[in-house]
Amino acid sequence: MKKWEKIILDSRTPDEYVENSLKSKLKPPEKARLALSWMDATGFTKTDILYARNRNPYWKKKKMEGAEERTSRRLAMHDYSKGKSVNWTPKRLEEFLELNRKDASGRYLYRDWELADHFNTTIPSIQYMRRKYIKVRSLLGPRARKEKVLSYMGCSELVLLNGGPARQ
């Protein structure tokens, strides 16, 4: 057994395993084989390793490389506004609330870009509306009347941060 194989297999925690794996000069197939052996020996899972890897400074940095460019490309690719801003009328807000629902697992039924396409706007605009909706829900509670929610949705985010239109 090679020196680094022993060091990796002797790791006590997923964090230590990730650190030792990074330091080693082993090839990816060898690391994959060792990962399976290490998981069998320690009882940790792939999820534990991925969690530790996502917190590791090296992997955080690696993951963020090119993030700005990817985000810019994604936003440009899904800009459906054609340079025009959307007027969020009560009717449009009502339609947005209808489409902004979540499924049983808590995921949105429609992704940001799908709503952006539907409303001929941008992803940041949809994200802004979702933030506003969450803020309105926190101010009014889950049992608020639809009319009241629509009224609050017509306010700016700044007004909502100050407690809503009633407190102005």
pLDDT single digits (tens) 50-97 = 999 999 999 999 889 999 999 889 888 888 988 888 899 999 999 999
As a whole number of angstroms, the distance between CA 149 and CA 146 comes to 5
**Portion of the chain with pLDDT greater than 90, in percent:** 69
CB 121 within 8 A of CB 75: no
Q: Please give the model's pTM, rounded to 2 decimal places.
A: 0.62
CB 19 within 8 A of CB 57: no
Residue 128: closest CA among 81, 168, 167 = 81
What pLDDT is recorded for position 166? Answer: 62
Tell me the three state secondary structure of residue 149. Answer: helix
Residue 123, C-beta contacts closer than 8 angstroms, at least 6 positions apart: 74, 75, 78, 79, 112, 113, 116
**Portion of the chain with pLDDT greater than 70, in percent:** 98
What pLDDT is recorded for position 161? Answer: 81
Residue 41: closest CA among 19, 14, 22 = 14
Residues 1-33: pLDDT tens digits?
Answer: 689 899 999 999 999 999 999 999 899 999 999
Can you tell me the mean pLDDT for 93-114?
94
pLDDT-derived band at 168 (thresholds 50, 70, 90) equals: very low
Rg of the chain, C-alpha, whole Å: 24
